[in-house]
Structure 1
Amino acid sequence: MQPYPTSENFPVPPGPAQTSQAQPGWGPPVTMPPRGLSPYGRPARHSWEIPLLVIVVVVTALLYVTSTLLIVFGVLNQLVLIVLFAPVIVYFGRGMLYAGQRLNGVQMSPTQFPDGYRLVQEAAARFGMTQVPDAYVVLGNGQINAFASGHGFRRFVVVYSDLFEVGGEAREPDALAFIIGHEVGHIAAGHLSYWRQLGMFAGQFLPILGTSLIRSQEYTADNHGFCNRPAGVPGAMGTLGAGKYLNRLVGFDELADRSMRERGFFVWLVNATSSHPVLTWRANALRDRSRHGKLFWHPDPPQQPTYNQPYLQ
């Protein structure tokens, strides 16, 4: 197995200025690179994301219609009320979450966590976003986590403070860049719009199907993180597996190789009911860029190393 490449193996991806349409009279237009799994073009959406999203949205619509009919026929219970008030629940939940970060978080800026602020700016530019999301640091108390969300027209990223111990100069700044690219990728991929989250409301009541949709979104966000900083993948996976102090003891290739050996019904069940790709499968997907990450069945041996082949579809 060829080891995972370092940052020296990856040329700088084309920025927005290199991929935008040229002005008339200044030569032929430069076409946008296709979406793919390499770090050179635009990040691809996981192949299962849209089909699963359509199914969940249809189920949500049917659930809403059914709840309305039950009210008409005089049937009233807690589940019916939750479904009918879903638009309000989602709206207020998003608003409260955003307000909490604005009141309690430390907002990244050129003077507060400037490295994180720069990484958010770079990720937004890498994905061609017209508006840079707000970014906040909150107290981690030993937890390794980050997330993205939104309210109204605003989008924001929250990074737990412990991740900056990973991203400091003495540790793994590339890992922090990958994680921030992953979270900004959720925003760039449209995962955080109000209407999308409302349409996915029934997903929480659908075993396996709902979690599979969320896992596919996580794979999509990983594709964004990979395009943003591919060299940060081993450090990020090591941090998720062993924490901020022992991440360098994790062998990334050993972690990815185990995804092909660990099999069985309960292995399948743990993955199927997880909202995030299990770590070994996730590492395998980030190493094998010839295909999308496995959603339901364990990964197969890679066809060939693909990180030197740009613009893979």
Structure 2
Amino acid sequence: MTTFTSSAAGAVPVAPAATPTNAHFRHRAEVPMLIVGGLTTIVAFVGALTFVTRGVDELPEWAGAALSAMLIPVLAFFLIRYMFWSTMGDAVPVTPKQFPELYELYADLGAEMGFTGEKLHALPQLYVVNGNGVLNAAAAKCQVRKAYVQINSDLLDIAYELGDFRTVRFVLAHELGHVKLRHISIWRMILRPVNTLLTLAPSISRAQEYSADRVGCYYEPEGARGMAVLFAGKRMYQRVDVEEYYDSIRTHRVGFWFKVANYFADHALGFRRMAAIEQTATQGWNVHGKML
């Protein structure tokens, strides 16, 4: 859509801002962390092969992890289907007639984000699962080249009971961001075994979560602040004075032990995550949250 601004010469057309590419959406730490994770996996695999060729009877734990990582592409076909059906067999698919308000919101969001093709470019099926009190959503593969998104019923309560569909839209944009940025790719799964042992896996995940938040902030900036629901709960979060919450974050000393706790977290701790979201209110979506 083209907009116009007025000038002395009359209306002047202004081209709309281009949609950011996947590279723009990625947090600045994501690619470096993936490179480190890839190199450590390759080195571990080469080391494991050296042990095997020398006939070593008992492999170190890291060598076993490296060899098991190489089996992931073979096992992925079976594991993906099993994991999908073990969870989604108890879920409720969202359709035009099942939760129609949610379906319309999700379909419109998917179209905005470019999910209009086939396979990984198709809009992933959305499912509602019983969260049993847990506020969460997730994206994963249901086939090697096809994804799905699930959202816990407890998170949907804020939309259907409290009328907050914007926060839900942010959450769904975040999850579709994981699909859009290929965070659920099989090759990324290969990095997990070795990098989990090396304690690098949480940092890779944390960078990816920041990237998905950046996608969410681009497509639903007003819903981003509703992420306070994760820290105050679905009943209390609307009573949270957000400005006071941010002020209280700033008064806390963020020292060594906070950074240690954040390092081992696969999602940035709330103080870090919400601080980045706060900045988007004045700086726009292109904010890079702190990794430590």
Q: Match for residue 257 of structure 1?
A: 247
Question: Residue type of the partner of 1:253?
Answer: E
Say if 2:110 is the partner of 1:124. Answer: yes
Structure 2 counterpart of 1:133, one-letter code = P
Query: Is the Cα contact below 8 Å between 1:147 and 1:159 reproduced in 2?
Result: yes
* CA displacement 1:96-117 (0-9 Å, x = unmatched): 2222234221111112222332
| Cα pair 2:173 2:220 within 8 Å, conserved | yes
- Conserved? CA contact 1:257–1:284, under 8 Å: no
Letter in 2 for 1:171: G
Question: Where does residue 146 of structure 1 map in the other structure?
Answer: 137
TM-score normalized with structure 1 length: 0.76
How far apart, in 2, do the equivalents of 1:119 and 1:43 lie?
25
1:251-310 deviation per Cα after TM superposition (whole angstroms, max 9, x unaligned): 2233333443321211111111111011121111112134311112xxxxxxxxxxxxxx
Partner of residue 86 from structure 2, selected from 78, 89, 100: 100
Name which of 91, 102, 124 aligns with 1:133.
Answer: 124
Q: Which has the higher helix share?
A: 2
3-state SS of paired residue (1:288):
helix
1:186 to 155, 159, 178: 178
Q: 1:56 aligns with which of 17, 23, 37?
A: 37
SS of corresponding position for 2:89: helix
- What secondary structure is seen at the aligned counterpart in 2 of 1:135? strand
Matched ranges for 1:165-184 at <5 A: 165-168=157-160, 170-184=162-176
Asked if residue 114 in structure 1 is aligned to residue 100 in structure 2, the reply is yes
Change (3 A) 1:215 1:258: farther
Q: 1:192 Cα deviation (Å)?
A: 0.7
* Contact 2:158-2:234 within 8 A present in 1 as well: yes
Q: TM-score with structure 2 length normalisation?
A: 0.81
1:214 is aligned, of 184, 196, 205, to 205
CA 255–213 in structure 1, closer or farther in 2 if over 3 Å, else same: farther
Deviates more, 1:254-263 or 1:58-67: 254-263
**Secondary structure, in 3 states, of the residue corresponding to 1:147?**
strand
Q: Can you list the C-alpha shifts for 1:144-164, whole angstroms capped at 9, x where unaligned?
A: 111111130110111111111
Match of 2:20 in 1: 35
Residue in 2 that maps onto 1:164: 156
Question: Alpha carbons of 1:164 and 1:83: their partners in 2 closer, same or farther (altered >3 Å)?
Answer: same
- Alignment partners' CA distance in 2, 1:116 and 1:49: 31
- Structure possessing the higher relative contact order (Cα contacts under 8 Å, 6 or more residues apart): 1
Contact 2:139-2:147 at 8 Å conserved across structures = yes
Aligned residue for 2:126, secondary structure, equals strand
**What whole-Å deviation, never above 9, does each CA across 1:71-105 have from its counterpart, x for those lacking one?**
22222347344432324456144332222234221
- Give the 3-state SS of the residue equivalent to 2:81 in structure 1: helix
Query: In the TM superposition, what is the alpha-carbon distance from 1:31 to its structure 2 partner?
Result: 8.0
User: What SS class does the counterpart of residue 104 from structure 1 fall into?
Assistant: coil
- 1:118 is matched by which residue type in structure 2? E
Residue 67 (structure 2) aligns with:
84
Q: 1:250 to 1:51 in 2, by over 3 A?
A: same
The secondary structure found in structure 2 opposite 1:162 is helix
Unmatched 5+ stretches in structure 1:
1-13, 19-29, 297-313
8 Å contact kept, 1:174–1:231? yes
Q: Which residue of 2 aligns with 1:285?
A: 276
Shift of 1:64: 1.6
Contact 2:91 2:127 in 1 (8 A): yes
**Residue 178 of structure 1 contacts residue 226 of structure 1 at CA under 8 Å; is this kept in 2?**
yes
C-alpha deviation, 1:124, in angstroms? 2.1
Residue 244 of structure 1 is matched in structure 2 by 234
Distance 1:94 1:258 in 2: 43
Q: Judging changes above 3 Å, is the alpha-carbon distance between structure 1 residues 60 and 95 closer, same or farther for their aligned structure 2 residues?
A: farther
Cα offset for 1:169?
A: 5.8
- After superposition, the Cα gap between the structure-2 partners of 1:213 and 1:170, relative to the gap in structure 1 and judged at 3 Å, is same
Shift of 1:33: 1.1
| Whole-angstrom distance in 2 between the partners of 1:54 and 1:42 | 15
Identity %: 29
Go from structure 1 to structure 2 and tell me whether the alpha carbon gap of 1:163 and 1:251 turns closer, same or farther (over 3 Å shift). Answer: same
Partner Cα distance (2:135, 2:270) in 1:
14
Show the counterpart of 2:26: 45
